[in-house]
Amino acid sequence: MKIAASDFDGTISFYEKGIPEENLNAIHEWQEAGHKFGLVTGRNLGLARHGLEGYDLSPDFFVCLNGAVAFDENGQLLFAKLISSDILTRLLKHPAALESRRIGILQPVNSYGYIRRRSQEDKPLERLPIKSIEESDILNTKDVAQISLMSDTPESAASAAEAINCDFHMQLCASSNGKFIDVNAYGCDKGTGLDNLLKCTGWQAEDILTVGDNLNDIPMLRKFRGFTIENGINEVKAIAEKVYPSVAEMLRDHI
């Protein structure tokens, strides 16, 4: 049995296009052959399931919020690593948070958002199941597994993530994904998330195949066999074992 662990946004699903039929068919073939297929995503379970609405696709596992939490195929929580309230308080006073256009507060399943500055680019986000809250309510939110910040450019997002990692050394880990900055408890990334999944399931590391397209995918691509697709960024292509036209091609090559 092989285990395919795929990023969601930009890897199997695409903005305004959704999940191509080619990918859906290949995932079905993969699972019918007795293999496992799961998502490893920056989304939480609620947002991941929202992205799957309308598709005949049933992942065998979910590693969510960049490795901070994981669920089995039925949505049962397997593990979670949360951000402590005192560190969250300090993070919200950090320049990266104060300059963020919006702040996402993500629990393992539910999502909340505070909007500081609106723009036309935010319209796709408004279609997501994110409950709006006031800034003063952020610290009252329990079980926070990830804070999502939004910068004006991918470059400024990368700089903000670097600043958070420096200022919260061994307390938080931040990674940029386009204009977004995902902030988790220290030690969380997609690679360690898959490690924790293996501990919960008894699956073997040598059976894992990973595929992703952006910076937050690099830890899992380095830790396990890692692949990317043609629209992956250069940093990912540089460390990937192989670049495929699509996830469908990757799955069929290893089935």
Return the CATH class of domain 3-80+189-254: alpha beta
| Residue 217 confidence (pLDDT) above 70 | yes
Domain(s) of CATH 3.30.1240.10: residues in the chain? 85-185
Mean pLDDT of 241-247: 98
Cβ(190)–Cβ(212) below 8 Å = yes
Domain(s) of CATH 3.40.50.1000: residues in the chain? 3-80+189-254
Given strand 36-40, what is the order of strands in its sheet? Answer: 77-80, 69-72, 61-64, 36-40, 3-6, 208-211, 225-229, 242-244
- Burial of 138 (C-beta count, 10 Å sphere; 0-12/13-18/19+): buried
Q: What's residue 198's pLDDT?
A: 97
Return the CATH class of domain 85-185: alpha beta
165-183 pLDDT tens trace? 999 999 999 988 788 999 9
CA 146 centroid distance within chain:
10
Q: What's residue 127's pLDDT?
A: 72
Identify which has the larger pLDDT, 131 or 121: 131
In this prediction, residue 122 has a pLDDT band, given cuts at 50, 70 and 90, of: low
Mean pLDDT of 94-120: 88
Q: What's residue 120's pLDDT?
A: 56
Mean pLDDT of 208-227: 96
